[in-house]
Chains A and B, each alone.
Chain A
Amino acid sequence: MIPESLELQVVTPERQMVREEVHEVQVPGRNGYLGILPGHAPLLSELQTGELSYRKGTRWSYLSIFWGFVEVLPGRVTILAETGERGEEIDVARARQAQKRSEERLQHVGDPKVDFDRAQVALQRALIRLQVAGKAGHTVAAGHQAEEPTHAP
Chain B
Amino acid sequence: MPTLIDFRRRIRSVKNTQKITRAMKLVSAAKLRRAQERVFNARPYAGQMLTVLRSLAQRTEAHAHPLLVKRPEKRILVLVLSGDKGLCGPFNTNVLRLAERFLAARTNGAQPQLIAIGKKSRDYFRRRQRELVAEHVNLFLRGVDYSNAKEVAAHVIDLYRTEQVDAVYLIYNEFKSVLAQRLITEKLLPIEGVLPTRTEGDLAVPEKEATGKEEAEETQVDYLYEQPPAELFGRLLPRHVEVQIFRALLESNAAEHAARMTAMDAATTNASEMIDRLTLHMNKVRQAQITRELIEIVSGAAAL
Chain A residues with CB under 8 Å of chain B are 9, 11-16, 29-31, 34, 41-46, 69, 71-73, 78, 80, 82-83
Contact = CB atoms under 8 A, between A and B. Distances in A.
Interface string B223-250: 1111101001001100100010010000
Contacts of A41: 224
Instruction: Classify the interface of chain A: helix, strand, loop or mixed.
Output: strand
A110 to B, nearest CB: 26
Contacts of B65: none
B146 A14 contact: yes
B56 A44 contact: yes
A29 B226 contact: yes
21 contacts: A11-B48, A12-B45, A13-B42, A13-B246, A14-B146, A15-B41, A16-B41, A31-B226, A31-B227, A42-B221, A42-B222, A42-B223, A44-B52, A44-B229, A44-B232, A45-B227, A69-B232, A71-B52, A73-B221, A80-B48, A80-B49
Nearest to B229: A44
B100 interface: no
B200 interface: no
Nearest to A43: B224
Contacts of B229: 44
Contact-residue bracket for chain B? 20 to 34
Instruction: Classify the interface of chain B: helix, strand, loop or mixed.
Output: helix
Contacts of A44: 52, 56, 223-226, 229, 232
The 4 A-B pairs at the shortest CB distance, nearest first, are namely A45-B226, A44-B223, A43-B224, A15-B41
Contacts of A82: 146, 239
A13 B225 contact: no
A118 to B, nearest CB: 13
Nearest to B235: A46
B163 to A, nearest CB: 26
A45 B243 CA distance: 19
Interface of B: 38, 41-42, 44-46, 48-49, 52, 56, 146, 149, 218, 221-227, 229, 232, 235-236, 239, 243, 246
A11 B146 CA distance: 13
A83 B45 contact: no
A41 B243 CA distance: 28
B146 A13 contact: yes
Contact of B232 (A11, A14, A46, A80): A46
Nearest to B236: A69
Among A11, A31, A41, residue most surrounded by chain B Cβ atoms (within 10 Å): A11
Contacts of A46: 226-227, 232, 235
A41 B41 CA distance: 29
A82 B52 CA distance: 15
A43 B146 contact: no
Contacts of B226: 29-31, 34, 43-46
Given A13-B146, A13-B246, A46-B235, A71 B48 contact: yes
A43 B146 CA distance: 27
